[in-house]
Every structure is written in structure tokens, then in C-alpha cells.
Amino acid sequence: MGGLKTTRELIELCHINKDKYVLDVGCGVGATPCYLAKRYGCRVVGVDISERMIDRSNERAKREGVENRVKFRLADAQNLPFEDALFDVVIGESVTTFLEDKQRAVSEYVRVIKPGGYVGLNEETWIKTPPPTELVEYATRTWDIKAEIPTSDRWEELLEGSGLRDIVVRTYKINVLGEFSQIRRYSFKDLLRMLYRTLSLYRSSAFRRYMKERLPTPKNLFEYLRYGIYVGRK
């Protein structure tokens, strides 16, 4: 959430530069790892639980000419296949929210960073609690978030509970128009592929029912739901 602007803010808070070795947890199609390698010149490893996403990520890295600085692996965020103190930075964008055992995941992030390294997360956050039942049900149904969405205080506790210090907490209102800045990290070919895929899916009656169940967005949703940047140092 927050688009490319928020990703850049996360990068700045985690002090990422060309000398850093970065792990992106839940890398999806590899947009952020490739952006980091291309813009900052650092080495990046991206992990995702979906083999299809890893394949797409490798295609992107080759297409963008950064395959010598970016590697992708199939992995579970709650059980990372890396030795202790390997990375300078671990980042995750709208990933840890979806995990049942968030404390275990954050502890894994901390385990694989070096002393003095950073963990930086951009995650969904309930800003007013308790949220109405219908909003919780909507979030569960629309974004498939079966796990609890923490408050900002709870996110901070998760980082502190894993041994991080110098915690930075910043929460932001969700700006639907601002989310369109995500487009800037994708190529024209990517956008055409997304459009084609959406149009193809829309031909399916099941997909149309799926979309109908998720619209319209409850008017008071964003009074309760925001996103937050959470950064800590080991």
C-alpha cells in the first residue's frame, strides 16, 4: 500500500545503498527486487511461497538486465532457508499481514540480518479498534486476509519482541489514487499483460460473481484501516 512513494520511504529508512545485501520477503513478480538492483545497484534476494511468482520474477530480472544482482528462491517467510546474519536488510510489503504466526516470521527476519541491520515492513493496520465485524469480514473476503490485522502498537510490539530497537512507526491514510503510482514500477508490457488477464477473467461468470461480492467498498472502511511503515534495527 502507498505505491512506489512508500517503497522509496522504506528504502530510505532501511539505509539501502549499493553496498547492501537485501532480502525481499514475499517478492511477488519481482518488481521491488529488480527496482532495487536497477536503481540502487545493490544485491537482492527475493523469496515467495508461489513457484509461479518465482518464475515471473526470474523473467523480469532477465528482461530488465539485473539477473547478475538479483536471485529468487521459493521459501516460506516463517522458515527462511538462510544462515544467520547473512543480510544487511530485510523488507516486506503487505506480506506479514497475511501470516498466521507473525512473531515467528519477524523473528526469522531478525535472525537472518547482521547486527546493525534493518527490518522494514509496509503493512495493513487497524487504526481504530475494535473494527466493526462487517469490515473485518470485508477485508477477509476481499483481500483473503484470514489472519489478524494488527494495530500499529501491535506491529511495534512484534518488532520489539524480536529484539529490534530504534523502532520507527509511521501510519498513513489509504489514498486510492496514490495506489496508482504502483504502475511506475511496471513496464508497458506488464500493463498490457495485466489488462489482457483481467479482460480474459471477466469473461468468466465465476469471476464476475467474485468481483460483485467485493464491491462496493464500505464507506467507513478507511476510517478504521490504514497502512503503516515499521522499521527496526538489530
pLDDT in tens, the chain (234 residues): 778 889 999 999 999 999 999 999 999 999 999 999 999 999 999 999 999 999 999 999 999 999 999 999 999 999 999 999 999 999 999 999 999 999 999 999 999 999 999 999 999 998 877 878 888 888 777 777 777 889 999 999 999 999 999 999 999 987 655 545 555 555 656 666 666 565 665 566 665 565 555 566 777 777 888 899 999 999
Q: Does residue 18 fall inside a structural domain?
A: yes
Query: CB 153: neighbour CB atoms within 10 A?
Result: 11
Q: What is the pTM of this model?
A: 0.84
The side-by-side arrangement of strands in the sheet containing 87-93 is 70-74, 43-48, 21-25, 87-93, 113-126, 225-233, 165-172
Q: Which residues, at least 6 apart from 71, have a Cβ–Cβ distance to it below 8 Å?
A: 44, 45, 46
- Which CATH number characterizes residue 68's domain? 3.40.50.150
Spatial contact of 227 and 124, defined as CB atoms under 8 Å apart? yes
- From CA 84, how far away is CA 105, in angstroms rounded? 14
Q: Does residue 88 fall inside a structural domain?
A: yes
How many domains would you assign to the chain?
Answer: 1
Domain with 33 in it: 3-132+145-176+222-233
Q: Does residue 30 fall inside a structural domain?
A: yes
Q: Does residue 185 fall inside a structural domain?
A: no
Q: Does residue 211 fall inside a structural domain?
A: no
Element (H, E) at 195: helix 188-202
Q: Which residues, at least 6 apart from 35, have a Cβ–Cβ distance to it below 8 Å?
A: 7, 185
Let me know how many helices (H) and strands (E) the chain has, helices first: 9, 7
